[in-house]
Amino acid sequence: MDYETLRFKIADGVAIITLDRKENPANALNARMAEELFDVGLRCGAPDVRAVIVNATGKMFCGGGDLAEMDAALDKPAHLTRMATLLHAGLIQLARIDAPVIMAVNGTAGGGGFSIVLSGDYVIASERAKFVSAYTSSGLTPDGSSTYYLAKHVGLLRAKELMLTNRVLTAAEAQSWGLVNRVVPPETVMDEACAMAQQIASGPTMAFGGVKRLLDTAFSDGLESQLDRETRSIADMMRTNDGPAGIAAFLAKETPRFEGT
């Protein structure tokens, strides 16, 4: 696929998705970007991908949906249905792969951009970054998984506050609320993200995937169901190469070399 709204590359086990709408300073999420995010989500499931970084060019990460495109659509409900369906399919792909997804937030993440950030496994933000739900300010309800993740991160009342009032959080506030792992100077965001990605890419990728899947049900399954998932998951790790290799390295007092298989 020839990308028009983003750039994509894979190197040394790390996939980098860069939102890049050159004609749109807000990197607004349009139908084409939703389609392209679905495509790269599929490609990130490749066996050689062991970590993923999502970042953006310009001063903003993503300001939200392209409202001008939505307004110009002849069949607005159909346009939004297709766009949200493709976006959601892409986010599901990133959630289901073993490789952890790192969000490198260079600037404002609003609306759909806010939702994309919430779907990440690890979030590094510039000191200049800001976060806002924004949907209801345009008379819309959230999409992009934010109603699934936000309350899990900050609690139900705070989630309602952010979505009903469109309160803007600074990077420091977002970190204190549990939406961001690290806040760094603007010029170091990608350096920090790449360093974290390389660390993750050298780890037991299938075990990381198991962690993602187990935590995904932490708020929905009962104790017995969750313990059953844990049993099956830890047993499955002994069917990988990295599980037995990690145990052997520990017993030999050696540093393990994980291959991600």
Helix (H), strand (E) at residue 7? strand 6-11
Active-site entry in 20, 39, 66, 88: 88
- Of 171, 173, 151, 148, give the one whose Cα is nearest residue 160: 151
226 CB neighbour count, 10 Å cutoff = 16
The dihedral formed by the CA atoms of 76, 81, 84 and 88, expressed in degrees to the nearest 10: 180
Q: How far, CA to CA in Å, does 155 sit from each of 96, 147, 149, 150?
A: 24, 11, 10, 7
Active-site entry in 20, 98, 143, 242: 143
How far apart are alpha carbons 153 and 133 in whole angstroms? 14
Supply the DSSP symbol for 65.
Answer: B
- Is 14 buried (19+), middle (13-18) or exposed (0-12) by CB count in 10 A? buried
Which residues on neighbouring strands pair with residue 109, listed in sequence order?
62, 131
Q: Is 143 annotated in the active site? A: yes
Q: Where are the beta strands (DSSP E) in 111-214?
A: 122-126, 130-132, 169-170, 182-184
Backbone phi, psi, residue 161, to 5°: -60, -50
Task: List active site positions.
Answer: 88, 143
